[in-house]
Structure 1
Amino acid sequence: MAPVADRPRALSFDSVAPQYAATRPGYPPALFNALAELVGRPLAGADVLDCGAGTGIATRLLRARGARVVALEPGAGMAGELRRAAPDVPLVRGEGDRLPFTGGSFDLVTYAQAWHWTEPARSVPEALRVLRPHGALALWWNQADVRVPWVAAEDARLAPFSRDFPTTVAEQFGPFPVRVSTREVTWSRRVTLDEHVHNLATHSHFAVMDPAERAELLTANRAALARLFPVGEVEEPYRCGLTVVRRIDG
């Protein structure tokens, strides 16, 4: 699914799959309300392909809305966690740049935290190929809200070691006959400091880091947070950016 240069990072999630399943944030109900609005149909009863499904976080939330979901995941470790969490979900091993499905199979193709591992020159035509008429491609990401001072300070501490991915990708669709809609949903969750740090450790830039260097960096970050949050809990604020893509004639 990933460009060649990023493929080791894309598959690095297999090494942290159980931790990913345990600590990564989900998505708020408002996101799925916005998704249904921009797609122009209820999620209930929709045939959905969830690409780069990982441990199934979005897959399960889409199913809870009544969608019929097929999960697509390239990584063995991540797919194993998805299978344990949702054994009745159809799971296909494959990549977003080469979708192993016939044309016109789905009402909705989704990428939750996963579109940046694809090559749009290949993944956009593939998504459009497997969509039914009036179908849609939907992409979304949780990003830490750096407008909050403690998040901005953490971001500054970790910035030399990390790479974030954009919440808006509309420019990637310029060459294609599509229309693009966007929405942002803000939300938060309360977790312990340990859960917060373990979540950070599942991000690809840390997963591929030297273990000793990673431990030193994240321990220092936790110590800085502990001075701000002596109770040992933190409210993680997120900005969830949603992009919905539909054919101009759809």
Structure 2
Amino acid sequence: MTAPSHADRAGSFNAAAAQYAANRPSYPPTLFDAIEELSGRPLTGARVIDIGAGTGIATTLLRRRGAEVLAVEPGDGMATQFRRAHPDIPIVRGNGNNLPLATASADFLTYAQAWHWTDPAHSVPEALRVLRPGGALALWWNTTPLDIAWHAAQAQRIERRFGLHPAVEQNGSGARAILGDPTGKLDFIRRKVRWSRRVPVDTHLANIGSHSIFLVHGTEASTAFLAEERQLLLNAFPDGIIEETYDVDLLVATTP
């Protein structure tokens, strides 16, 4: 099988938007505390543009912090799911490489699980254009900590079958973002925020199955792997409940 392209993986979520919305993890309140601390300004009352908003997981949390939020999403399926679930939050179509936004119009630009789908040669200058002076660019990813034995074992099984575990693959996204600034104008501060959630085995499997590496390999291959994985997890967690642990890799940079 030919390796899926970056564009194929980026577009794969649109057919699985409902699965994504129902099963993907959220983010802890401490993440948004850290964003405010590192940016030096509150989210309450701020003009926040959430780019690559997907189904709105981060967007809704930003709004609950009191921000005035606009979502930007390129995908048909994801945008449809967003509108269905959040009809009161404005959303426009676009992506980080060419933002449909006015110059100096945002206090924050946020990218939750989305910056790695952009081309920094375009997305960095666009971020600098859209942010107001003193505005903040905040990028973050839920990543899988490999110091937890069952997470590490599962990551190895996924890598043997499909390639890197998607949430493990994103462990390096923060470093790549720092190194990928072609302008040299962004001075990122990095913070790791650990949190966890307890979910049924089937929710966990639906979560990992909603990642692009599974979606692009087709239903047959993914279904077979997830069935095997379900049995292994039930052997390890007989009550059928799993504690998923995440390290949120957060990067924040403020504009001059």
Q: TM-score, normalised by structure 2?
A: 0.93
Q: 1:136 offset after TM fit, Å?
A: 1.0
Specify the code of the residue in structure 2 equivalent to 1:172: G
Deviation, structure 1 residue 176: 2.0
**Residue type at the aligned position of 1:198:** A
1:140 maps to which residue?
140
* Equivalent in the alignment of 1:217: 225
Partner of 1:26: helix, strand, or coil?
A: coil
- Structure 2 distance, partners of 1:172, 1:136, is 17
Cα deviations across residues 176-209 of structure 1 (Å, max 9, x unaligned)?
2221101000000000000000001100010111
Per-residue CA deviations over 1:130-187 (Å, capped at 9, x if unaligned) read 0001001110000122110000000010013143122423111264222110100000
Match of 1:194 in 2: 202
Shift in Å, 1:34:
0.1
Pairing of 1:13-92 with structure 2 (within 5 A): 13-92=13-92
Percent of aligned positions that are identical: 50
Q: How far apart are residue 122 of structure 1 and its match?
A: 0.4
Cα distance in structure 2, aligned partners of 1:226 and 1:200: 16
CA contact (8 A) 2:46 2:107 kept: yes
Q: 1:242 aligns with which of 229, 238, 250?
A: 250
Q: Which residue of 2 aligns with 1:110?
A: 110
Q: Does 1:172 find its partner at 2:180?
A: yes
Task: Report whether the alignment pairs 1:228 with 2:242.
Answer: no
Q: Indicate conservation of the 8 Å contact 1:49/1:106, yes or no.
A: yes
Work out the CA distance in 2 between the residues paired with 1:66 and 1:8.
35
Q: Give 1:181's aligned residue.
A: 189
Cα distance in 1, alignment partners of residues 226 and 5 from structure 2: 25
* Contact in 1 for aligned 2:201/2:241 (Cα 8 Å): yes
Cα distance between partner residues in 2 of 1:175 and 1:201: 36
In the TM superposition, structure 1's runs of 4+ consecutive aligned residues that sit over 6 Å from their partners are none
Whole-angstrom distance in 2 between the partners of 1:206 and 1:5:
13
- CA RMSD, aligned part only? 1.2
Distance 1:204 1:158 in 2: 13
Does structure 2 conserve the Cα–Cα contact (< 8 Å) formed by 1:188 and 1:237? yes
Could you tell me which runs of 5 or more consecutive residues in structure 2 were left unpaired when the two chains were aligned.
none
Q: Aligned to 2:250, what secondary structure does the other structure show? A: strand
Given residue 48 of structure 2, which amino acid in structure 1 is its aligned partner? V
> Does 160-169 or 181-190 show the bigger shift?
160-169
Gaps of 5+ in 1: none
- Stretch deviating more after TM superposition (81-90 or 67-76): 81-90
Instruction: Give SS of 2:104's match.
Output: coil
Count of residues in Structure 1 that have an aligned counterpart in Structure 2: 245
Q: What is the one-letter code of the residue matched to 2:213?
A: H
